[in-house]
Amino acid sequence: MSATGSNTVRRPSRSGLAVLFGALVSLLTTMLLSAPGAAGREGAEAAPTAALTEVTNFGSNPSNLQMYLYVPDSVTANPAVVVAVHYCTGSGPAMYSGTEYASLADRYGFIVVYPSVTRASKCFDVASPQALKRGGGSDPVGIKSMVDWVTRTYSADTGRIFATGISSGAMMTNVLLGDYPDVFAAGAAFSGVPFACFATTNGSEWNSECSGGNSIHTPQEWGDLVRNAYPGYTGPRPRMQVWHGTEDDVLRYPNFDEQIKQWTNVLGVSQTPAATDSPQSGWTRTRYGATGDRAPVEAISLQGVGHNLYANGMAARALTFFGLDSSGPAPQPQPGACKVTATTSAWSTGLTGSVTITNTGTTRIDGWKLGFTLPSGQSITNGWGATYAPASGAVTATNATYNGTIAANASVSIGYQANHTGNSARPGAFTLNGTTCTSS
């Protein structure tokens, strides 16, 4: 198959058949000796490696999507599959060149599928009744066919199929996980909306109420929309990671919380975070149902960031959530491995907070982040023993260079000063590297 997916075959003349046959035997012998990784695949269909390739005739495709594929030279046996879905006005090739999924596939050996819209808007259908029902037609059916083609051709691991996307692709990620919970293990949606939030019945691709952040439902209502896409399904549901900028002016920020409500309900976990931290300045990460890298729901809010939030490095974080990076499935930290003692001493409009972190586990901690939420009206003005970000709300204190190691049964003391507007209480809960600590 060529890089454009053309499979044109020209019939040779009789006089050239013998020469052609001999050349083919030689070529096939060379391929068999030099490409043992192709064993077990449908070799006639397999795409070239280390190149973006268009695949045609991949199966049912009611909305005429294009399928682009990236298979690394290092593709593993029974590889995982990542479906990377583009934004409005984008394309599969643009998603390939504008994200790091192909280079990460080179590192970790998985396969990347890049669906590509052919309709004029270059937006995925996440609105029609057909799109919001398992097997109903439109884009989700075509994408499911792409996954099936890869699974057949490369004996892909059906337990490690993932979806991720940006904007329209993030909305499609929500749709794919709702329509095909038996296909996808997890998803990562960058600037999206909940499943069925964009639903329309008049043929329109756009839903202004949803995009404006005005579609507000209870968790149960959101969860029912997902469950109604595949009535009667009782199997496991895919995990979800959502990303959103607080200043998104295309798909407004309330859609972030609505996705959290939806997927915590679908997965049957509490809406109260099990862990809160700040993996990067201006980011607030909350995890629901567990505290580790593969929690059922993970949500990352980017303060002051608009709709185009995707940046290099985020794909790697999605892979960590999927469990596809070199660390593999992350062990869940065990509660009770830390203790925090915190006090405050207040005056008229200010206070001093003193915090002691004790490692009550049996192994040394090398590098730590302490997460806590300041009471309303408090804002940190300076601190010692750690760096603090952001100054209010969900705060992460990151170790200094001299106190990053805490031996088993050892302690570290830090502190901060803060302004307050009347509430001078200490934070009520703490997490250390994602683990909930006992506190007093």
Any idea which residues carry the catalytic annotation?
167
Q: Which residues pair with 189 in a beta bridge?
A: 165, 242
Give the residue from 313, 333, 317 showing the smallest Cα distance to 242: 317
Helices 138-154 and 168-179: crossing angle in degrees, nearest 10, is 70
- Six-digit token string for 67: 């399928």
Residue for token pair 């490692």: 359
Q: Report d(CA 218, CA 208) in Å as an integer.
A: 20
Q: Report d(CA 166, CA 189) in Å as an integer.
A: 6
Amino acid at 216: I
Helices 219-227 and 254-267: crossing angle in degrees, nearest 10, is 60
Q: Report d(CA 89, CA 363) in Å as an integer.
A: 51
**Cα Rg of the chain, angstroms:** 25
What is the Cβ-side half-sphere exposure of residue 86, based on CA atoms within 13 angstroms?
A: 24
Give the residue from 351, 342, 341 showing the smallest Cα distance to 423: 351
* DSSP conformation class of 115: E
CA distances from 3 to 56, 104, 206 (A): 11, 20, 34
Q: Is 271 left (phi over 0), alpha (psi -120 to 50) or beta?
A: alpha
Q: Report d(CA 280, CA 284) in Å as an integer.
A: 8
